[in-house]
Amino acid sequence: MPKKTTASLNANRSSLPHKVRYALRNPGKILPYVQRSARDLKFRLVHRDHVSYYRAVMASDAARDPKAAVGSHNEKRWLALGKMQFDYLVEHGLKPEHRMLDIGCGNLRAGWRFIDYLDEGNYYGIDISPDILVAAKKVLAERGLQDKLPHLTITQDLTFDFLPEKRFDVVHAHSVFSHSPIEVIDEALAHVERILAPGGFFDFTFDRTEGAEHHVLREDFYYRTGTLIALAEKHGLQARFMDDWEKRPHGQSKIRVTAGP
* Angle at the Cα of 98 from the Cα atoms of 122 and 234, rounded to 5 degrees: 105
6-259 topology per CATH = Rossmann fold (3.40.50)
Which residues share a beta bridge with 240? 256
* CA–CA gap between residue 213 and residue 10 (Å, rounded): 9
Q: Which helix (H) or strand (E) holds 240?
A: strand 237-241
Which residues share a beta bridge with 126? 103, 153
3-state secondary structure of 124: strand
Q: What's the pLDDT tens digit per position in 97-151?
A: 999 999 999 999 999 999 999 999 999 999 999 989 999 999 999 999 999 999 9
Neighbours of 54 (CB within 10 A): 21
pTM exceeds 0.85, yes or no: yes
What's the longest Cα–Cα distance across the chain? Answer: 53
Question: Virtual CA dihedral for 147, 74, 126, 103, nearest 10 degrees?
Answer: 120
Question: Virtual CA dihedral for 47, 29, 69, 84, nearest 10 degrees?
Answer: -130
Which residues share a beta bridge with 123? 100
Q: Are 203 and 255 in contact (CB under 8 A)?
A: yes
**Sequence spans of domains, the chain:** 6-259
The residue count for the chain: 261
Mean pLDDT of 164-179: 96
Q: What is the DSSP string of 75-93?
A: HHHHHHHHHHHHHHHHHTT
Distances (CA, A) of 142 to 58, 128, 145: 22, 22, 8
Q: What's the pLDDT tens digit per position in 205-247?
A: 999 999 999 998 888 999 999 999 999 999 999 999 999 999 9
Q: Which helix (H) or strand (E) holds 136?
A: helix 130-142
Q: Which helix (H) or strand (E) holds 121?
A: none
Q: What's the pLDDT tens digit per position in 39-63?
A: 888 888 888 788 888 888 888 877 7
pLDDT band for position 261 (50/70/90)? low
Q: Which pLDDT does position 59 carry in this prediction?
A: 80
